[in-house]
């Protein structure tokens, strides 16, 4: 009985992982990487996934959900956002942070 329960648990675990993927990329401002440790939050429905940028402005986060999500960056007291799509496999988003007036925005490179 333990063997059946363990097999079922492993099957369900790997099935959940198979439906998810990594979201990764870089964020730059004026052609240079933004500071390491900058907070990123990806929201897909009610689920939130958090990560920080590395020293090269890179990020990588494992997102269990598929479909439209919102990537939000916390930068200099603002939270510019960008709509992304999460897929079964990995997806790359290289983003550019732009300042128009006093407001920051994100766009795809």
Domain ranges for the chain, please list them: 21-108
Q: pTM here? A: 0.79
**92-96: long-range contacts, CB 8 A cutoff, minimum separation 24:** 92/24, 92/25, 93/23, 93/24, 93/25, 94/25, 94/26, 94/27, 94/28, 95/25, 95/26, 95/27, 95/28, 95/71, 96/27, 96/28, 96/29
* Level-2 CATH architecture, domain 21-108: Sandwich (2.60)
pLDDT (tens, 9 = 90+) of the chain, 109 residues, equals: 555 544 544 454 444 444 579 999 999 999 999 999 999 999 999 999 999 999 999 999 999 999 999 999 999 999 999 999 999 999 999 999 999 999 999 999 9
């Amino acid at each position: 009985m333990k063997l059946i329960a363990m097999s079922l648990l492993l099957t369900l675990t790997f099935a959940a992982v198979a439906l998810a993927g990594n979201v990764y990329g870089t964020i730059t401002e004026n052609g240079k990487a933004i500071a390491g440790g900058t907070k990123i939050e990806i929201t897909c429905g009610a689920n939130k996934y958090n990560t920080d940028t590395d020293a090269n402005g890179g990020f990588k986060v494992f997102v269990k959900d598929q479909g439209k999500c919102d990537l939000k960056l916390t930068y200099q007291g603002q939270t510019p956002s960008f709509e992304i799509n999460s897929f079964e496999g990995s997806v790359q988003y290289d983003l550019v942070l732009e300042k128009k007036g006093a407001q920051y925005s994100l766009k795809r490179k």
